[in-house]
Amino acid sequence: MNDMRIVEREVETKAVKISARNCQVYYGETHAIKDVNIDIEDKTVTAFIGPSGCGKSTFLRCLNRMNDTIDVARVEGEILLDGEDIYDPKVDPVQLRAKVGMVFQKPNPFPKTIYDNVAYGPRIHGLAGNKADLDVIVEKSLRRGAIWDEVKDRLDAPGTGLSGGQQQRLCIARAVATEPEVLLMDEPCSALDPIATAQVEELIDELREQYSVVIVTHSMQQAARVSQKTAFFHLGNLVEFGETGQIFTNPQDPRTESYITGRIG
C-alpha cells in the first residue's frame, strides 16, 4: 500500500506552465537551438543540463525574451506561458520579465541599498500603494530569499557589500519581489562556495511550492539534488526530457548516457 502511494507520487503530473513549440534560435548564421519542443510544469524544478555550448542559456533566455536584447539573435516558433504566446506583439517584455524572473550566474545586485534592490521591481510595477506596503513586500521577499535575518539590521547598506552567497540570495529576493510565476536560474551557484550553494539549493526546493523553477547547471549532482525533471541538451537539440531519476539512472538516448557517465562534455 505504502509502495503504491510512492509510485503514485513519482508519476504525479503538474499543470503545464511553459510550452515551447518548434523553437529555433539563430545567432546570424549559427543555428543554436534546433526545433525544441518541451512542456515545463508548474510547481516543479526543471534542470537543463548538457555540455558547454549546447544551448542551455540560449534556450533559457527564450523563456522570458532575454534574447530580444541580443541583436544577432532570432527566435522562431512559439513559447506559450499559460497557453499564451509570449512573442505576441501585444506582450510587453518588461511585464513578461516580472512574471518570468531571472537569476544570473554572477550575482548582480544593483548599486543601491539592500532595501532598494528588492523595492525596485515592485516600485516600477506599482505593486505597493505606500511605504508601509513596500516595507511588507521587501521583508517578505527577503524572507523568501532566506536572507532576511542576515540583513534586517542593515537594509540601508549597499547590496554590493554582501558576500557572494548573500548577494545571490538578495538577487533571488529581488526576483521574487515582483511575484513572478516562473523563476529562471542560469548556473546560480557557480560563483558560490559549498555552504552558500547548499543554502541556495534549499531555497530552490522551497520556491518550488509556489513557482515553476528552471535551473541551468553544470553539476549533475546539483541537478539530481534539486530537480524533479531534467532536460538534456546536445548541439542545440533537446535530446531527452523526463523525470530526473529516470534521466540519471536509465537514460534512453546514448548521448545522454555518455554525458552523465562523463564520456562527453
Ligand X SMILES: Nc1ncnc2c1ncn2[C@@H]1O[C@H](COP(=O)(O)OP(=O)(O)OP(=O)(O)O)[C@@H](O)[C@H]1O
Which spans of this chain sit near Mg ion (rule: CB under 5 A)? Answer: 57
Q: How far is the CB of 81 from ligand X (least distance, A)?
A: 20
In the bound state with Mg ion, the residue whose beta carbon lies nearer, of 51 and 158, is 51
Question: Smallest distance, Å, CB 233 to ligand X?
Answer: 6
Residues binding ligand X: number (CB under 6 A): 13
Nearer to ligand X, 62 or 119 (CB): 62
Residue nearer to ligand X on the CB measure, 60 or 207: 60
**CB of residue 197 to ligand X, shortest distance in Å:** 17
The single residue among 38, 55, 142, 248 that binds ligand X, judged by CB under 6 A, is: 55
- Residue 222 is a binding residue for ligand X (CB under 6 A): no
Report, in Å, the least distance between residue 93 CB and ligand X: 17
249 belongs to the binding site for ligand X (CB under 6 A): no
88 vs 111: CA distance, rounded Å = 33
Among 53, 164, 245, 254, binds ligand X (CB under 6 A): 53
Minimum Å gap between C-beta 196 and Mg ion is 20
Cell 515553476 sits on residue: 212
Q: Which does 30 bind (CB under 5 to 8 A by kind): Mg ion, ligand X, none?
A: ligand X
Residue ranges in contact with ligand X by CB under 6 A: 27, 30, 32, 50, 52-58, 70, 72
